[in-house]
Every structure is written in C-alpha cells, then in structure tokens.
Structure 1
Amino acid sequence: MKGCIKKETVPPFLTAQVIGDVIIWLAIGLPALVLYIMGTPYKAGFFCDDTSLKYPYKQNTISDALLSGVAFGLTIMMLLIVEVLNIFEKENKRHRCLTQGPFTCLKGFGIFLFGFVITQIFTEVLKNAVGRLRPNFFDLCRPDFSRIDCSQGYITNYTCTNDEHSASTLRNSRQSFPSGHAVFSVFTSMYLVLYIQKRLHISYSHFLKPTIQAALVLLSVLCSVSRITDHMHHSSDVIAGIGIGFVVACSVFYSLGTKFLNDQEPKKVSTDEDIEENSTPVLNGHQTPVPLLHNTFSLIGQPNSFSSKCADRS
C-alpha cells in the first residue's frame, strides 16, 4: 500500500550491530553495578544541631527489588498491550501501516534498557561524588557525640557506633543525593508515556490513552513521595531525581525512539492526484507526463490545425 512503511527486513550487519550495542550497554552498565554494590561515597560532615538528619530509621515502603520488578514487568506488559491494541484497531487493520513491525516491542524494550543503564550511571556517580547524608543518618550511624566537639561547627571527624546494621546499610546512609527511586520510576513512566503517545493509535476511545498515561505518572509520583515519608531522602533529592529521570527519558526516546519506532500514517492521495497519476499516457512503453503533452501541442498547434494546413498544401 502506498505511503506505508516498507516491510522490515534483517540487514546483513544486524548481528554485528547488536553485538556492538550490547558491548556499549555492558560498558555503561557494569560500572554502574560496581558503584551500586561497592561504591565509596564522599564522607560528608554534619552540624550537631542539624534537625534534617534526626529522623528515625524506617523500612522501605518500596524496596529496590520491588521497584525493579514492577518497572521491568510494567514496561514489558505495556509494550505488548500497545501493539496488541494496534493490531485489533480497525483503522490500523485497513491500512496495515502501524502494525507491520514485528520487532517493535523488542526494539522498544531495548531502548528502555539503554535508558535504564544511563539513569543508573548518573545516579551512582552522583551518589558517591556528593555523599549527602540521609534524613535518618543520626539514627543509623549513631555517632558518639561524647567524643565530638560540636562547638567546632561542621563535623567531619566522627565514627558510627551503631552495630545493628550492616556495613552496606551504613554506607548507604551517606548516599542521599539524588533519589534513585525517583530517577528510575520517573524515567520508566515518562518513557512509557512517550511510547504510548507515539505508538498507540485507537479510534474507539479518546480517553483511554491519556488515562493510561496519567496512571503511569501517578505511580512514579507515589514512588517518589514515599522516599520522603520513609525518611530516606530530602525533598531536594527527590526533585533532583525527578528531573534526571525526566531528562533521560525524553533524551533517549527522542534520539532513538523516533528513529526506530517509526509509525508513519498512510499517505492520503487526493482524487485529483489519483486522476492525474492514473491518466498518464503511455507512448512506446514509456510514461509521458500530461503536462509535457500539453506543452508539446501548444508549440506545434492543435491536431485540427495540422489537418487544415495539410489540406491547403495539397
């Protein structure tokens, strides 16, 4: 059908291209994983009367494992739902333009994975470089104030005395900025919002698409807010995480998604264009444009004038 995307074929360099992209993905993802597990944050100090660090320690409402499982599972589910809805849409069935990419879901998830490692490397580098203390730092660390001269103001020489928590938990108490939950949840929701906006084309409801998008945004907001109520992050940490997730989602989608998730609408050809195209004469096996014939006749005269001139000469 004219105006539709050409049927996808596997290019000869696809295998090499995939291998190269996987290598790049690992080159970014492995350092982020190492920083997440073994990163050493900058040892920031504190003021003894800093009330923003005196919140009690609470368990996470949304753990790292739960966030990862929901984000990856929700992404896979939404990509599949969007493409299935496109297949059963009558208008898409008629044109066959929006549903003929068999690897659309796979490509969409691959772009999501690339954005995921970008968010993680940003998050882990900033967490370790800034070393900001969490709101529950005093409760987790329990520095021995009897050995600290608070009159010095900003205290950098201190030792944590709390042995109820693991070393990784104490290390994590100095990685407040930015909020990793906010970064990942906002990135996931914004990526899916943009994917749905570009790929989902249905005619039987005007409200289904914005309702799904609003629900995704609401989930990310609730996840981000829980980090404040759990005393795991300061408000500025969450705001920074929201900004990073939003920027990475938009950057990754508009740099890669608009290229690899093409969904051009079928080109509508007007009736006049159809008539002109279908009425193109064929001379000696070659198509001759109608305007060219008109110009030719205007130069040599009309056929009737040919006949009259020949009659006069005879």
Structure 2
Amino acid sequence: MSHNGPGHTSTSMIHRVGLAGAAARFAQHSYGPDYIALGFLVMGWVLIQLFVNPFHRMFSLDNKSIQYPFAVHERVPVLWSVIIAGVIPFLVILAWSAMVRAGVQKTQVTVLGLFVALMLTSLLTDIVKNSVGRPRPDLLSRCKPARGTPNNALVAWTVCTESNQHILQEGWRSFPSGHSSFSFGGLGYLYLFFCGQMHVFRPRTDLGRCLLAFFPLLCALMVAISRLDDYRHDVYDVTCGGLLGMLIAWFSYRRYYPPLRSAICDVPYDKADLAGPDGFAKLDDEEQGLVRPFLSRGGPSGETYQLQDTESSR
C-alpha cells in the first residue's frame, strides 16, 4: 500500500538527489532556515523605517488627551532601550553559557531565540503602529497647529507646522508602545530562560531563584512605565505593547525549549531528536505542555522512574 501523506512527502524530499534534496536535508538538520527567516525580519523592519509613514487619524485641538508636553529628553531613549532589552540579555546569556559550559549548540539556540523574539516584536509593533495611526498624548506639542485652526472641529494632520518630519510623523505612532513591546520581548525572553535553567516552576523552589528570574520582568516594567512619565503613551498603549512583547517572547522561547514545568526544561530541543531517519515525527506529550509521567534514565536496562513518586519522596 502506498503512503501519500505529509510524512511520505517529506521523506521523499529528504532522500532525493540534487538541489531539492540537499535543501530539505539542510532544513532538517540545521538552523539555517531560521537564520534566513531572521534576515527577512530584519529586512522588513528596515524597509518600514525607511519608506512607511503612519496613517494620520484626525484630531481636535480641544482633546485634552493629546495636550501633554513634548519631552525633549526621554527617561529611556531608544538607544538605551536597545541596550537594556537587547544587548544586556545577549551578554547575560553568553556569560551564563560560559559559566555552566553550556556548549555551542545550546548557546546558539538560545541566542537565536532571543534575536527572533526581538526582531519579530519590532516588526509586528511597527506594522501595527503605522496601520492604526493613533495620536500620542503629546501630539499637539509635536504638531504646532497653524493659527486659525478651529478648536472644536476634527482637523487633518496638514494643519501642523512642525518642520521636523521625524518628530511630526512619530506623533501618530502611539499604539502599541514600542519601548514596552521591545523590553518585554527581550527581557521577557531572558525571564523565560532563567525560569527554565533554574527550574523555577518545580515544587518548592527557593525564593532566591524566583526573585532572580523575575528581575528582568521588573526591568521591562520600569522601561514601560517611563513611557507614561514622558507622556509618550497612555496606559492602554503600554499594556498592549507589553502583552505583545511577552507573547512573542514566549512563542520564540517555546520553539526551542520544552515547557517550564518539564523535568528537562533546561535542555533545548535537538533537531536530531525531532527528526528521525524518515523525516519529522510526532512530538510526545511534553511538547503539548504536559509533563511526561515517565522519563528514561538512559541506562542499559531501560530503567524508568515516575515523576509523581519522585516529587512526593523528596
């Protein structure tokens, strides 16, 4: 009987001679496709920065929610947000890997997940920002409306007299907060990494590990709050930005690591385990968020132990 399902198709592609077969084997046994996709994310983000202007929602001069002053000096400038949520997590992961001698494969997977989280968060945030075109709380200070503009009527952005186009266009990029999403994307990923490496979600974990794991989230929260203090965003913008960044951080982390309640949550997935000789196989229950009731000890007799009994005997 012939098998024409997806598994048979992937198997035939892997064993095929030529460029198609080589590409299939490359995709199966390496993270090259992830690096290629990451490159496209970077390219898309750069193109948005260079060529895309936001949608300009109409506004009214008597709208008190957009009458806040423009903060010339931000509490957390863009450069510092990149350092706090991008550079520092990257250096922390490298230092952690050096201290525990994690190896090249684990370090590569962890750093790749961080970069994917940061770039995917940045790209999606900017797409939503430009599509929504929500005015910032300091819009009128940026716009500098022309004299004679009616106070109680909706007007278009063409009434603005601000000559600096960057300052003016940024006035319609309020939702969601980019600082919030980026900080929770990078520092949220570092939080998940700490939780996995220190088994924070196992029963009766000591408080010190929990505090260390949650510290990156506190830093991300402070970055997000700074956007409220600078009147760059309101609570709605910051909350949605933080949720977006945390969701993408979780998505990126879980692509490479097991669930945090797993007994082996500190060990990343190995492509050799996910793909057998005949192509990709179905993952076990752990990939579905369940803790496996039995784990192989790897001994010559194939001995297993039950997690529930092990936990209760501690």
Inter-CA distance 269–112: structure 2 relative to 1 (3 Å threshold): closer
**Change over 3 Å in CA distance of 1:209–1:83 after alignment to 2:** farther
Tell me the distance in 2 between the aligned counterparts of 1:155 and 1:70: 38
Amino acid at match of 1:209: R
Say which is worse superposed, 73-82 or 54-63, in terms of deviation. Answer: 73-82
Amino acid in the other structure paired with 1:261: P
Letter in 2 for 1:142: K
Output the CA distance in 1 between the equivalents of 2:146 and 2:191: 49
Compute the TM-score of the two structures, normalised by the length of structure 1.
0.69
Q: Equivalent residue for 1:106?
A: 108
Tell me the residue number matched to 2:161: 161
Taking a change above 3 Å as real, the CA distance of residues 252 and 15 of structure 1, as seen in their structure-2 partners, is closer
The residue aligned with 2:150 is 149
Distance in 2 (CA, whole Å) between partners of 1:19 and 1:213 is: 30
Is this contact kept in 1: 2:296–2:302, CA < 8 A? Answer: no
Distance 1:62 1:124 in 2: 19
Q: Following TM superposition, by how much is the alpha carbon of 1:121 offset from its aligned partner in structure 2, in angstroms?
A: 1.4
Shift of residue 226, structure 1, vs aligned partner = 0.3
- Picking from 26, 29, 54, the partner of 1:41 is 54
Alignment of 1:192-203 (within 5 A): 192-200=190-198
Report what 1:245 is aligned to: 245
The residue identity in structure 2 corresponding to 1:44 is R
1:210-221 equivalent positions in 2, closer than 5 A: 210-221=210-221
SS class of match (1:28): helix
Quick one: distance in 1 between partners of 2:198 and 2:27? 27
Once the two structures are overlaid, the 10-residue window that deviates more, 23-32 or 214-223, is 23-32
Residue of structure 2 equivalent to 1:67:
81
Query: Is the contact made by 1:82 and 1:196 (CA closer than 8 Å) also made in structure 2?
Result: no
Find the aligned partners of 1:253 and 1:201 in 2 and give their Cα distance: 15
Corresponding residue for residue 261 of structure 1: 268
Verify the 8 A CA contact 1:83 1:200 in the aligned structure 2.
no
Is the 1:186–1:217 contact (alpha carbons within 8 Å) kept by the matching residues of 2? yes
In structure 2, what residue type is equivalent to 1:29? V
In the alignment, the residues of structure 2 paired with residue 250 and residue 65 of structure 1 have an alpha-carbon distance, to the nearest angstrom, of: 24
Q: Distance in 1 between matches of 2:298 and 2:119?
A: 44
Deviation readout 1:230-261 (Å, 9 max, x if unpaired): 01112111011011011111122123333971
Sort the Cα spacing of 1:54 and 1:80 in 2 relative to 1 into closer, same or farther, 3 A.
same
| Contact residue 82 and residue 199 of structure 1 kept, 8 A | no
Alignment-derived partner of residue 191 in structure 1: 189
Return closer, same or farther for 1:69/1:37 CA change in 2, 3 Å cut-off: farther
> Structure 1 residues 252 and 18 mapped into 2: Cα distance closer, same or farther (>3 Å)?
closer
Q: What secondary structure sits across from 2:231 in the alignment?
A: coil
CA distance in 2, matches of 1:57, 1:258: 45
Give the whole-Å Cα distance in 1 for the aligned partners of 2:98 and 2:199: 11
Distance 1:76 1:158, change over 3 A: closer
Q: Quick one: distance in 1 between partners of 2:147 and 2:236?
A: 27
Is the 8 Å Cα contact of residues 137 and 234 (structure 2) preserved in structure 1? Answer: yes
CA gap of 1:253–1:18, structure 2 versus 1, over 3 A, is closer
Q: Are 2:56 and 2:157, in contact at CA under 8 Å, matched by a contact in 1?
A: no
- 2-structure distance, mates of 1:37, 1:233: 23
**After the TM superposition, which of the residue ranges 26-35 and 226-235 deviates more from structure 2?**
26-35
Question: Any gaps of 5 or more consecutive residues in structure 2?
Answer: 1-24, 260-266, 271-285, 287-293, 304-314
Which structure ranks higher in relative contact order (CA pairs < 8 Å, sequence separation ≥ 6)? 1
Q: Which amino acid aligns with 1:255?
A: R
Give the equivalent residue in structure 1 for 2:126.
124
Contact 2:85 2:184 in 1 (8 A): no
Distance of 1:248 and 1:226 partners within structure 2: 22
Identical-residue share of aligned pairs (%): 20
CA radius of gyration, larger in:
1
Once the 2 structures are TM-superposed, how far is the Cα of residue 177 of structure 1 from its aligned partner? 0.8
SS at match of 1:258: coil
Q: CA deviation at 1:16?
A: 8.5
Indicate conservation of the 8 Å contact 1:144/1:158, yes or no: no
- Alpha-carbon RMSD: 3.1
- Residues 41-62 of structure 1 deviation map (CA, whole Å, 9 limit, x = unaligned): 0011112211111111112111
Matches within 5 A, 1:20-99: 20-58=33-71, 59-87=73-101, 99=102
Retained in 2: the 8 A contact 1:43–1:131?
yes
1:116-140 deviations in Å (ceiling 9; x for gaps): 1211111111111011111111111
